[in-house]
Structure 1
């Protein structure tokens, strides 16, 4: 069930009214959310509900066992059991074929031919998100950062909460779980603010992402047929496609939750206005980047280790694992590794710039934002490409002399003549709000505009959403595949 579908609108209206009709009965509210979440997920494939239930019940039990035990070795054994269950399920469905094929390719280098046994399995939607969410629960209990939850209904609702179930934000139990233990009443202000954020998320998804995807998909799927100038435009369009798509999903999820009295963490904060790679990851997919920081980078030693070499290794591992989390393909591994390379270049560059203070600070800041955007966009080629060879060929042609070719003629046969204009206007719209809300807690705030302008903004967003939703129909979110 997609957020941008008519089925979801009907589903949410029914759930919303039933939810607030029972505001005096917390147990019923949570039961309603749990059942609704299972319906929402099962709408895609009910068979994979068993995986969510297994993760929920196993981590609920193991979390309690860790919490009750005072024996350090026993607590560690329970934690390892939790990690084996969660990573075992994730690894089986997401990475089994990748490792089988990679092993076969590796030993073939030494002259051994094998026919790897591959599984014809479907990747369950959202498995990477809810698996990481439940893992953080048992890890935090093991670290004595929180106590185990004693209410199974509340815990299962926390794991399966439908707005953020299939694509995040990846919430920490310490933040989200206690909210299911408190009564939630209808709040007019939160409802309005949530509805505004849903509107902004739908705009980013339907108007920006889906229209950019129309061209980006054609260019990437037929990259051999286009000159470098078109390929440059293609990767830029993909950069805005994936941002509009994923941040749009997060905005909708956060907005829906606010309407229901639940607070979710901010997941995006104007990432394309970042001044360096480190700043980019403070702004892009914040719930995932902080997860890897707290549960991978810091346990490895983080930046507290004495050796600069060890610190560099920690950074490389964290970025590479983050890339691998996104998909079972070497392109994602390279994408993550590229970000670690950019991080080291940025660190060296920053040290050099401290000794040079000739240029105005605003000019340096603008230059840094542009360079960071170029680096991030270049890395998106590996993220989007079907294979390593596809990415290399794409880059080779993009950086060839054909980068100077006139791209205009190649777009005439792709779609309507109006669509490029709509994309440009939409991106300008996006840029204005990104700049004005660069350091805001939420990505859509128009309170600083006068009332007539606010009304005009809301109406224009709604009209564009309705027009392009009717034109394109509901299109899947990119991160459903992760």
Structure 2
């Protein structure tokens, strides 16, 4: 079920009303209802994979209990190994089986031997990359004695399958989200209104910005050899806004939906395109994933505490793994490698933690130096996105080569809509700039303005969503 579908427009109000007016008095019943609603939400896409998420939840629930009750270090490692093995095994089989088979066959053929590929037509379960990481953090934290396991199976299963963030994050740690299933919920009007505003902004990002950028992006990337360089440039720029509007929009809808049910989910995007270097970009982009890799991969490898060589090795590993997490394609690995290469000079010169605060914190506008930093960072990120969007390495390289052509100075071979949409994207970024100090762009916007102005903004966004809506456009990160 998609957030931007008519089904969800019916589904969520029903869930909301039953949750607060029928099940509110009994916390266990509330959790059981959330679990049922989450399974309906997930099963709407393909009911056959409900068994997969239930099995993964059951394994980690049992392993968590065993690890928590066991004092013997070896046995604790065994149960942790079972948890990680099952989760990574399922993820590896469904997401990477064909990639490894095809890559092995290709390597054998380049060596002069003949090999016939054997691939399965596997359907990738939506959200498997997200909920497997979520359950793994639970057993790892118990193994580290950073939390105690829960004996409430319903609450745990509801935590794993919590429908607002189930299929595309944020990747919630058990230490943050699971305890919220044990707290009695009291409807908070101000929190609910904040959630409504966040959902509205998320829908605007997805339906108005991302889905309409996709039209021009597809035109550029589906047939790049026939496009002038000016069209390719616009296609690359629009993809940067498409993927941000799509994934950032999903995260805002998820967090806002959680607020309406009395849950606080972690911020997943913090205005990443206002970053002044790549290190800052990664502190602001897909925060739940980057911090997950930091805490469960980078630090266990030694982080930056070892020699320079070890630190550089760990940085490369973390970026390459991050790329590989996104999909079974060499383009994602190259994308991760590009970001590693951009990050390492900052690390070597001790500049990777210079830009911690918000840009132009106490000013209306950035200075020229900050503007230049943001421009360079955005340009480098956009080049990386070309690999991310391209179907294969040859296409990505060809696309970049196509940018360095005299036709870059030609007039765009697109209709008037592209110019109008450029203005809309600019307005979008100006709103983002104005709200960069908040959790999301319109959280506090127009709070101190007259009611007509405030609600005029809201109704304007609602009208834009309905006017620009395209039928049930899936979210990009569903494929991951």
Q: Is the 8 A contact 1:129 1:170 kept in 2?
A: yes
1:188 deviates by: 1.1
Per-residue CA distance 1:290-327 (angstroms, 9 max, x = gap): 0011111111111111x111111100100010000000
Please name the residue that 1:60 is paired with. Answer: 61
Equivalent residue for 1:434?
A: 432
Alpha-carbon distance change, 351 to 23 in structure 1, aligned in 2, over 3 angstroms: closer
Deviations 1:165-215 (A, max 9, x none): 000000000000000111112211111110010000000000000110011
Q: 2:340 aligned with 1:340, yes or no?
A: yes
Distance 1:384 1:351 in 2: 29
Residues 285, 351 of structure 1: CA spacing in aligned structure 2 closer, same or farther, 3 A cutoff?
closer
| Deviation at residue 271 of structure 1 after TM alignment | 0.3
The question of 1:70 aligning with 2:68 is answered no
Deviations 1:77-124 (A, max 9, x none): 111111100000000000000000011111222222111211111101
Taking structure 1 as the reference length, what is the TM-score of the superposition? 0.94
Residue 366 of structure 1 corresponds to: 371
Q: Aligned partners of 1:449 and 1:373: how far apart in 2?
A: 32
Of 68-77 and 312-321, more deviation after overlay is shown by: 68-77
Contact 1:269 1:443 in 2 (8 A): no
Q: CA deviation at 1:58?
A: 0.3
Please report how far the alpha carbon of residue 474 of structure 1 lies from its aligned counterpart in structure 2 after TM superposition: 1.6
**Residue in structure 2 matched with residue 190 of structure 1 by the alignment:** 191
Deviation at 1:449, TM superposition (A): 4.7
Q: Secondary structure at the match of 1:411?
A: coil
Match of 2:358 in 1: none
Aligned length: 465
| Aligned counterparts of 1:398 and 1:348: Cα–Cα separation in 2 | 31
The answer to whether the 8 Å contact 1:211/1:419 transfers is no
SS in structure 2 at match of 1:70: coil
Q: Deviations over 1:400-449 (max 9, x none)?
A: 33222222xx103xxxx34641x233322321222122232334321555
TM-score scaled by length of structure 2: 0.94
- d(CA) in 2 for partners of 1:194 and 1:294? 29
Match of 1:139 in 2: 140
Q: 1:271 and 1:177 mapped to 2: Cα distance?
A: 28
Shift of residue 350 of structure 1? 7.0
Check if 1:79 corresponds to 2:80: yes
Name structure 1 gaps, 5 residues minimum.
355-360
Tell me which residue corresponds to 1:357.
none
Structure 1 equivalent of residue 389 of structure 2: 384
Question: In terms of mean alpha carbon deviation, does 197-206 or 431-440 score higher?
Answer: 431-440
In the other structure, the counterpart of 2:302 is 301
List per-residue Cα deviations over 1:336-355 (Å, max 9, x = no partner).
01000111244467769x9x
Q: Is the CA contact 1:330–1:387 (under 8 Å) kept in the aligned structure 2?
A: yes
CA contact (8 A) 1:332 1:382 kept: yes
2:478 paired residue number: 480
CA distance in 2, matches of 1:76, 1:269: 36
Q: What secondary structure is seen at the aligned counterpart in 1 of 2:44?
A: helix
| Alignment deviations for residues 27-63 of structure 1 (CA, whole Å, 9 cap, x no partner) | 1111111011111110010000111001100000001
Q: Name the structure 2 match of 1:450.
A: 449
Change beyond 3 A, Cα 1:216–1:312: same
RMSD of the alignment, in Å? 1.6
